[in-house]
Structures are given as C-alpha cells and as structure tokens.
Structure 1
Amino acid sequence: MSVIRFDDVSRVFSHNRSGVLALDHVDLEIDDREFVAIVGPSGCGKTTCLRMVAGLEFPSSGAVSVDGRKVLRPGPDRAVVFQQFALFPWKTVYQNIELGLRAQGVQAPKRRDTIERYMDLMNLRGHESAYPHQLSGGMQQRVAIARAYALDPGVLLMDEPFGALDAQTRIVMQEELVRVTRANPRTVLFITHAVEESVYLADRVVVMTNRPGRMKEIVDVKSVREANQWDQHKRIEDVMDLESFVRLRTHIWKSLRDEHGGEREAS
C-alpha cells in the first residue's frame, strides 16, 4: 500500500524577515496505485507539494504522510523524476539505471535482471552502452524513468518530467507513460502546467488556486475515461478529439483561467 496524505498542510517561506504563504491548509489523499496530476498557476505550490512527499521540504504546519508514516526524510519507497533529466554524463545508460540499485546493495545478478526488465519496459534495448549526450531528450527521460522504476518504489513523483521536451517527443512520452503505468502501476503524483497532459494521464486532476495555493477542486477523470472507453484509442490525438475529453479539458482550463484572472485583478 502506498497512500499519500496531506493533512491541513501549510507552507511559509521566509524572505528578509517576512513570510510568504505558499500553501494554505491543503488536504488531499492519493490512493494506492492512483495517478494524480496537480495543475495550477505558476508559484501556487505544486512542486512544493511534490517535494514535501519526497522529503526534500517540510510543512510549516500540518503533516504529509505515506502509508500512515509522517514523511521526515527522503526514502527508497519514493522516487523522483525531474524535468531536467539528472543523468550522470560520465555514465552509460546501463550504469545510470544501475546506480540506485548499487547504493541499495542489490547483488549483481539481481541488478542485471532488474535493469534488463526496465530497459525492455522503456524501450531502451540497444542503448545500454550509450552516454547521455548521445541520446535525444526523450531517450534521456526514458532512462530517468527506468532508473526510478528500477528502485521498485511504491510512490513515483514526477515534476514536469516532459516540460523540457519538444512537442512531438512530449506526445510520444505521454503515450509511453500511459503504457508503462498500466503495465506496472505505481502511486503517481505528477506535476504539470499542461491541462491536456493532466487529463490524458491522470485518474484525478487537482486544480490549485493562485498563491497561496489551496485545493480549488478535484476532477475525476478515471470514471469518464472508463465510461467512454478511452483506452480503445491507441493514439493520443484520437483521445483528445473525444467529446468527453474536450469537456474535461475545457472545464479545467476555465477553472485555471479564473485563477489567472484573479491574479491580474490583484496586480
């Protein structure tokens, strides 16, 4: 079980003796093996939420927990995939995926089996000996995702992982992530600015307000996806043309536009 809970979480950042309220009384529960995306205006605290689950930042009040245990530090039960690929340039694809397994003391035969499994899952066969600079951005992000999965975390934290990719590669990676998360499900917290991406990937989409970040609404995508049989459509553009998809995308986009409008009025 990998259940994530935010219980009345607020976060204040201090700047020159003054405090900036980034998150305000956030309550959220993400179920085991559920894929939840967070969208919201820039600076609303999306990435702060992810970093608190990762154990890289901490609430000023309230608590963040995974499986009923308060998050106090990073741990092997949670893996992070960042927007920048964060690969070691002097290591090969194989060595980059192997790195965390070595740190955990996994024996060589099991390391090899695990690496081969996730290289297959991420379509990386034939690139074992390549270095990051020899790979496209999409291929580098495949390596980063394979490295995260190889650690067998209960929770996968993804902070705008496709934000640095060109539009065509981003679409391919979205399709790949859907395939991978269906074949090997994890509890996923996914941060993005892209409304279409959130609706295509997630079971639920959390819409946040302008700063200070609050949970404005939570949109159930999974029930709509299942009722309208989106998975029968293999290509992302076919799904995005569906009336049910367009309706959800438009609803979330209007909700975000309201936040941006409020930001303009306050300025």
Structure 2
Amino acid sequence: MKDIRFDNVTKSFPTRSGTPFVAIRDVSLAVAEREFVAVVGPSGSGKTTLMRMAAGLDHPSEGSVRVGGREVTAPGPDRAVVFQQFALFPWKTVRENIAFGLRCKGVPRARQDEIVAHYLKLMSMEGTEDRFPHQLSGGMQQRVAIARSYAIEPDVLLMDEPFGALDAQTRTVMQEELVRLTRKEPRTVLFITHAVDEAVYLADRVVVLARDPGRLREIIDIRPTREAEDWDSRPIDQVMDLASFTHLRTQVWRLLRDQIRPDD
C-alpha cells in the first residue's frame, strides 16, 4: 500500500490574457496508507485538479505530488481512477470490462476468471457477467467500473464524483456498497465530491477547500466518531439520523456556506 502527499502544491493554467489562472495555491495534504479521505469544496476550489495531479494526468506548477514516496510524473498501475461517467467499453461484457486491466497486465486467463468472479460476488453482481453496459442500470455500470478498478489491485483509488450521475436512491445504495467494499478490502482513497453527507458518511477525514484560488481551509476528523459509534454496521439512514453525524455534517457545511455563490 502507498500514501499520497501533496507538498506546497500550486497549479496554474495559461489564459488568453496572458495572466495565469491559479486553480490551487500552496496546498499541503497527506493521505495515509489505507486512509479514506474525501475532498469537498465549492466549484472552482480545485478538487478535481488535486485528483488529476495524484493520477498523473496533470502536474503541479510548483511543489510536488508523491505516491508511496515517489514523485508522480505520469499515470501508473498503482493508481486506479473512477470518474463520474462510467467509462466502460460498450462493446465488452461485464466480465470483459472487469478483466480488461488484468488482460493488459498479462494475468493468466484462469486467474482472470477467479478475480472477476471474486469481485462480481463482492459487488453483488452475480448473473450479470455476459451483459453489456447498455443492459445495466447506472448504478450497476458504476459497480462494474469500481470492480474493474479494484481488480487490478491498485495501491491507490482516486474517485472523482463517482456517484454524481446517479439518482438519489441508487446513490445511497452505492454509498453503502462502497463503505462495505473499502472496509473489507481497504485502499488508500482520495474521493472528490460536492455532497457533504456523502463525504461525512464515507470518509476517515474530510478535507474542506476554499476557492479563488483553491486552498486548504480545514480538515475534519470523522474516523474516531465513526468507530466509537460503529457506523459501518448500521444502515445509512440510521447513521444520518445520529446526533454525531448531524454535528459533523453541520461543521463541514458551515465551512462551505460562505464560499458558495448563487450560480454554483
């Protein structure tokens, strides 16, 4: 397993005016090995930019991003990315989509079948092996995307609004599924979301960003409360009714409220 470190990271983009747009300024953040960190912030606070730099899809203008102590210079098999759009191959079956990364790594076919069967069972998807993406609901498609990411056994899982395209009911189910999966087979997770409830329910810590430019505002530690009250064994609706959950959600929301504009 590996940790993620952002050390004094600034990211700017060129503009037509010649004055660079600063998306993130001087952000330092450490995500410990096997820790689940959710990042929230208003639009324009640099949430996705942080994730893309950890993935090696963008690079800091200043500072450094390291995974497992090594500077990130490009995408790598130690990091899997799950985007909001499901990004499945429409011409491949569920089985073939999940096995795609394994095949690229040269994993023997028999072992591919074992791994695919394991994640089909873990994601409650038995019986869908031979279906194509268009035959699945949005929630099921995202389960396939998550299973495909887990199947290659990455050290780090980077998730950018993975449930943002789902309806409210499906999103709730997927949040419970992700808690179950990440507690059973923990990875180092950086999870980007706009939803405060989602961040508090899923994460060990919630990172709150401010904007103009994006910068670290505060970090809220969720894990001690979650473990003390055993949130993971309770249905999500029971957890969200707890006074402790309401307190933490309000704490995060107050940090965000003065950053949000009417047009967000």
> Which TM-score tier does this pair reach, normalised by the shorter chain?
over 0.9
- Please list, as runs of the form range in 1=range in 2, the aligned pairs for 1:1-20 lying within 5 A after superposition: 1-16=1-16, 17-20=18-21
Query: Are 2:204 and 1:203 equivalent residues in the alignment?
Result: yes
Aligned match of 2:215: 214
Give structure 1 regions of 4+ aligned residues with deviation exceeding 3 angstroms.
Answer: none
Query: What residue identity is the alignment partner of 1:254?
Result: R
Query: What residue identity is the alignment partner of 2:240?
Result: M
Aligned match of 1:135: 136
Aligned match of 2:191: 190
How far does residue 89 in structure 1 lie from its aligned partner after superposition?
0.5
Paired positions, count: 261
Which whole-Å deviations, capped at 9, do the CAs of 1:184-234 have from their partners, x for residues lacking one? 11000000000000000000000000221111000000011122232342x
- Secondary structure of 1:180's counterpart equals helix
The 8 Å contact of residues 46 and 191 in structure 1, kept in 2 or not, is answered as yes
CA distance in 1, matches of 2:259, 2:7: 24
Which whole-Å deviations, capped at 9, do the CAs of 1:133-187 have from their partners, x for residues lacking one? 0000000000000000001000000000000000000000000000001111100
CA distance in 2, matches of 1:135, 1:108: 25
- Secondary structure of 1:27's counterpart equals strand
Which whole-Å deviations, capped at 9, do the CAs of 1:56-103 have from their partners, x for residues lacking one? 000000000001000000000000000000001111000111111111
- Please list, as runs of the form range in 1=range in 2, the aligned pairs for 1:75-86 lying within 5 A after superposition: 75-86=76-87
CA distance in 2, matches of 1:231, 1:128: 29
CA distance in 1, matches of 2:153, 2:232: 26
Query: Are 2:103 and 1:94 equivalent residues in the alignment?
Result: no
- Secondary structure of 1:65's counterpart equals strand
CA distance in 2, matches of 1:230, 1:120: 23
RMSD: 0.9
- Secondary structure of 1:18's counterpart equals coil
How far does residue 259 in structure 1 lie from its aligned partner after superposition?
1.6
Aligned match of 2:243: 243
Moved more, 124-133 or 106-115: 106-115
Query: What residue identity is the alignment partner of 1:217?
Result: E
CA distance in 1, matches of 2:257, 2:133: 38
CA distance in 1, matches of 2:10, 2:224: 30
Aligned match of 2:48: 47
TM-score (norm 1): 0.96
How far does residue 120 in structure 1 lie from its aligned partner after superposition?
1.0
How far does residue 43 in structure 1 lie from its aligned partner after superposition?
1.3
Query: What residue identity is the alignment partner of 1:9?
Result: V
The gaps in structure 1 that reach 5 residues or longer are none
CA distance in 2, matches of 1:232, 1:96: 31
CA distance in 2, matches of 1:41, 1:146: 29
The 8 Å contact of residues 180 and 232 in structure 2, kept in 1 or not, is answered as no
TM-score (norm 2): 0.97
CA distance in 2, matches of 1:138, 1:111: 24
CA distance in 1, matches of 2:232, 2:54: 30
Query: What residue identity is the alignment partner of 1:5?
Result: R
CA distance in 2, matches of 1:137, 1:193: 19
Identity %: 61
Query: Are 2:148 and 1:147 equivalent residues in the alignment?
Result: yes
- Secondary structure of 2:14's counterpart equals strand
- Please list, as runs of the form range in 1=range in 2, the aligned pairs for 1:160-179 lying within 5 A after superposition: 160-179=161-180
Aligned match of 1:108: 109
The 8 Å contact of residues 10 and 62 in structure 1, kept in 2 or not, is answered as yes
Query: Are 2:65 and 1:64 equivalent residues in the alignment?
Result: yes
The 8 Å contact of residues 45 and 211 in structure 1, kept in 2 or not, is answered as no
Query: What residue identity is the alignment partner of 1:14?
Result: P
The 8 Å contact of residues 93 and 130 in structure 2, kept in 1 or not, is answered as yes
